[in-house]
Amino acid sequence: MQSGPREIVTPFRPIPLDVPEGMAPNEFFNSTENLNDLSNNNGLLRNPEHLLLYRKALGHSNEFDTSIIFNTSECILDPLGRPVRRTQVPEVTKHVWNRMNQIIIEYMVEKYPDPDEALILAGEASLDATWPLTSPGVPSIRMLHNHFIVFNKEQLRKAEFADPKNPNLTDGGQHSLFQAYMRDVYSHFFDSLDFKILKPTSRGSSKIELTGYPQGLPSWKIQGGVDALKDIQFWKEYDQILKGFLDFYRSFFSQVSTRNAPIPKDSYFPDLIESKLLFNNDFLSAAKMVRDQCITDAKYANAIRWQPAFKQLIYRNDDGDLIVTISQNSIGNAITELLGVVVKRTPDAEAYEKDEPALIEKLLDVRKRLIHADLGDGIATPFWPAE
């Protein structure tokens, strides 16, 4: 079987929402009006922590596809002031969110036990709130949300190969600045983090053979599999990876911006930054290379994302192991593309409605488990009852 990124076609039912004249779509999608529609027509469950579970109307997969959003549309009206990553949410909210993640991932593994038949992933793609709201590719909903997706592997096998030069197929091995110039520095920095449940994977073991992705990224096996997700220690380690990434990203672009810049304020691991990064010649020479190009190339400088942008996810590899990885996020790409899956969404209500009953049945099934665990109350919509 030839390996390579795949492009699948996912039909959807057009959303009957009109964007007000003179307003950019991504500006409208951040509005309370749009979030009300999302909740009323696609909402599955909500809780007092402002977490909303919903059906993806413009989904990646019609096999299984749902998201949780930290719906701050009514309590934080400034879109640029809303949390966009896990480290920015209140501890009680993160605690509830972790439990919801655990139950939904456990459900996906239980419902799709064979790694040869289904590609399972869960995670978040986050952009920093300092990015201009109207920048191309900025998410349509400017609030922290994550994804739970299952792809049918038979559909992937039959799918056309995606163009490997597609700029959205950003992965650490081919396009990432970190991996291209600082692979060893990047890896050694992460190796310094202390884990008990997460174990670094051997080269190539985390790759999906069908697509050949992800490539060149640091990744960790979750020892104990899905049962380990019930241990709060796992979620602490999951956050450690994100904090390590944020420190590396901030430190690098601080050096790009200002030669010999100090350790960034509010760093999570200042001692590691000092010992592993700010005294590393490869790290600092790469920063000089980017800085010099910024000074002479206006277009290149404008494309720099000075604040952290990332994709972090949990997925199942071909051996059935659950893997954690994290990648620098390019603007415009989707979390699925980290695993080599490009989704072409097409408006086709008739095709979508053929898949809808089975999809909704699974979403309501997992909702029951969340309600039973006291993680929220069901939402009634025109398509399903509250319970």
Verify that 225 and 287 share a domain, yes or no.
yes
Contact 76, 82 (CB under 8 A): yes
Contact 261, 254 (CB under 8 A): yes
Query: What is the enclosing helix (H) or strand (E) of 336?
Result: none
Across the chain, what does the average pLDDT equal? 89
pLDDT one-digit tens code per residue, 343-379 = 999 999 999 999 999 999 999 999 999 999 999 999 9
Q: Is 130's pLDDT higher than 80?
A: no
Verify that 207 and 249 share a domain, yes or no.
yes
Alpha-helical regions (H) of the chain: 25-28, 32-42, 91-111, 153-158, 177-191, 232-257, 270-272, 281-296, 298-303, 349-372
Instruction: Give the pLDDT mean for 21-36.
Output: 75
pLDDT on residue 183? 83
Q: Is 171's pLDDT higher than 80?
A: no
CA atoms within 13 A on the CB side of 266: 5
Verify that 25 and 116 share a domain, yes or no.
yes
Q: Is 170's pLDDT higher than 70?
A: no
Gap between the Cα atoms of 116 and 319, Å rounded: 9
Domains of the chain: total:
2
Contact 162, 154 (CB under 8 A): no
Verify that 38 and 158 share a domain, yes or no.
yes
Gap between the Cα atoms of 148 and 64, Å rounded: 8
Last residue of a domain, one of 328, 343, 374: 328
Burial of 323-336, coded b for 16+ CB within 10 Å and e otherwise, reads bbbbbbbbbebbbb
Structural domain span for residue 49: 1-165+332-387
Region of 200 on the Ramachandran plot (φ > 0 left; ψ -120 to 50 alpha; else beta): beta
CA atoms within 13 A on the CB side of 222: 28
CA 200 to chain centre: 20
Percent of the chain exceeding pLDDT 90 equals: 65
Contact 69, 364 (CB under 8 A): no
Angle between helices 281-296 and 177-191 (to 10 degrees): 150
Verify that 364 and 324 share a domain, yes or no.
no
This prediction has a pTM of: 0.93
Verify that 20 and 42 share a domain, yes or no.
yes
Gap between the Cα atoms of 251 and 264, Å rounded: 6
pLDDT on residue 299? 84
pLDDT on residue 271? 97
Verify that 314 and 363 share a domain, yes or no.
no
Neighbours of 44 (CB within 10 A): 25
Last residue of a domain, one of 328, 352, 373: 328
Verify that 197 and 317 share a domain, yes or no.
yes
Verify that 182 and 277 share a domain, yes or no.
yes
Verify that 124 and 240 share a domain, yes or no.
no
